[in-house]
């Protein structure tokens, strides 16, 4: 049964996959990354080397909001043929990996099945990555341009860090945004690509993006572009959550029995949403040390509260975090395991 489209349609997307650049042998379209991320979400717990997945074509087309099987086939073809470059490091040092997104076998009718497998080399970066962003598959689908999608994913990666900033130069930004040689003049690139992407992300995402241009050199040209993710006010969060005007599709009510892919529990079991509010993230950002990653702490907190029903997940997480960070300075707390904090702070079994 297909999971509900609600605020919990979140998937962990690894930093290596988000920062990957497309080799421009096949021009990707916005529906391609939406489709790939949706397939990750639907099969996340089963992503292992050699796994072959099956989903009803009807459900995939419903998610993409398309009515012709040919559109799905075209997107699958691009994901199968387009080359992806991932730069990463392992014990041997810096490496560069070339792969495709996936291979597929799709029915020619909307009543059949989509059979697919993620690229065998890419699989290692998909399941439970150490550094990741929490990406909403519905929000990603709602963006109308690839630069907006790429900006959203990259800033989702930054949003839970102590300093939620993405520093890049113009050349690299063109690669990430997949603009090729279009808008060669920087003023055109800024007006028609960067500004539009920032505007759309600020309209749809759960955070806002600020952008700064750093100039230098003899000509005073832009040498660095700095994007910063900041929390929305309560009003802005409500506006972003209701942004579906172009499609006329109403948001379905939450199903308290739907298992969340982030922690394997239902809303009813947890006593609240798996995803913390923006306000809790801001408090955590002020508490964590330099170089801290809130995602890692959230994962540990979720594990410590597994099986417990929380009245206020935000308050519980912040209290847990204060105890966790206080371990280094308090000898009475130093030898206490994280899951013991969950018991001390309460919550029903």
| 92: CATH | 1.10.10.10
pLDDT digits (tens, 9 = 90+) for 56-83: 999 999 999 999 999 999 999 999 999 9
Q: Do 105 and 66 belong to one domain?
A: yes
Residue at 109 is within a domain: yes
pLDDT score, position 291: 78
pLDDT digits (tens, 9 = 90+) for 192-226: 999 999 999 999 998 999 999 999 877 788 999 99
Q: Do 15 and 87 belong to one domain?
A: yes
pLDDT score, position 98: 94
Residue at 349 is within a domain: no
Q: Do 98 and 185 belong to one domain?
A: no
Q: Do 157 and 130 belong to one domain?
A: no
- Domain count within the chain: 3
pTM of the full structure: 0.76
Domain, as residue range, for 244: 143-255
Residue at 260 is within a domain: no
Q: Which of 205, 234, 255 is the last residue of a domain?
A: 255
Q: Do 162 and 102 belong to one domain?
A: no
Residue at 330 is within a domain: yes
pLDDT score, position 156: 95
Residue at 60 is within a domain: yes
Is the pLDDT at 158 greater than 80? The verdict is yes
Q: Do 244 and 147 belong to one domain?
A: yes
Q: Do 82 and 125 belong to one domain?
A: yes
Residue at 5 is within a domain: yes
pLDDT score, position 285: 86
Query: In three state form, how does the secondary structure of the chain look?
Result: CCCCCCCCCEEEEEHHHHCCEEECCCCCCHHHHHHHHHHHHHHHHHCCCCCCEEEEHHHHHHHHCCCCHHHHHHHHHHHHHCEEEEEEEECCEEEEEEECCEEEEECCCCCCEEEEEECCCHHHHCCCCCCEEEEEHHHHHHCCCHHHHHHHHHHHHHCCECCCEEEECHHHHHHHHCCCCCCCCHHHHHHHHHHHHHHHHHHHCCEEEEEEEEEECCCCEEEEEEEEEEECCHHHHHHHHCCCCCCCCCCCCCCCCCECCCCCCEHHHHCCCCCCCHHHHHHHHHHCCCCCEHHHHHHHHHHHCCCCECCCHHHHHHHHHHHHHHCCCCCCCCCCCHHHHHHHCCCEC
Q: Do 89 and 192 belong to one domain?
A: no
Q: Which of 255, 286, 317 is the last residue of a domain?
A: 255
Q: Do 133 and 7 belong to one domain?
A: yes
Q: Do 15 and 101 belong to one domain?
A: yes
């Amino acid at each position: 049964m297909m999971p509900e489209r609600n605020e919990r349609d979140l998937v962990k997307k690894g930093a290596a996959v988000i920062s990957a650049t497309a080799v421009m042998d096949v021009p990707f379209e916005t529906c391609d990354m939406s489709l790939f991320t949706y397939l990750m979400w639907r099969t996340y717990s089963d992503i292992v080397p050699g796994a072959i997945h099956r989903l009803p074509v009807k459900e995939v087309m419903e998610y993409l909001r398309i009515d012709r099987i040919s559109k799905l086939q075209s997107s699958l073809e691009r994901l199968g043929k387009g080359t992806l470059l991932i730069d990463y490091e392992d014990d041997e040092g810096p490496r560069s990996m070339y792969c495709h997104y996936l291979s597929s076998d799709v029915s020619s009718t909307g009543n059949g099945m989509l059979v697919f497998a993620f690229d065998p080399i890419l699989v290692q970066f998909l399941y439970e990555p150490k550094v990741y962003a929490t990406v909403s598959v519905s929000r990603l689908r709602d963006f109308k341009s690839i630069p907006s999608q790429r900006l959203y994913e990259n800033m989702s990666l930054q949003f839970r860090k102590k300093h939620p900033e993405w520093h890049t130069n113009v050349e690299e930004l063109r690669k990430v945004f997949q603009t090729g040689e279009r808008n060669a003049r920087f003023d055109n690139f800024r007006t028609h690509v960067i500004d539009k992407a920032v505007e759309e992300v600020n309209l749809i995402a759960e955070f806002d993006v600020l952008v700064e241009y750093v100039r230098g050199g003899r000509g005073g040209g832009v040498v660095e572009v700095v994007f910063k993710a900041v929390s929305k006010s309560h009003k802005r969060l409500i506006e972003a959550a209701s942004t579906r005007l172009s499609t006329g599709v109403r948001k379905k009510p939450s199903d308290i029995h739907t298992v969340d892919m982030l922690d394997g529990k239902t809303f009813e079991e947890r006593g609240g949403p798996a995803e913390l509010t923006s306000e809790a993230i801001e408090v955590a950002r002020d508490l964590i040390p330099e170089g801290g990653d809130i995602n890692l702490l959230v994962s540990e907190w979720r594990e410590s509260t597994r099986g417990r029903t929380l009245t206020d997940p935000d308050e519980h997480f912040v209290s847990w975090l204060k105890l966790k960070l206080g371990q280094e300075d308090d000898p009475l707390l130093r030898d206490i395991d994280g899951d013991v904090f969950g018991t001390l702070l309460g919550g029903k079994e």
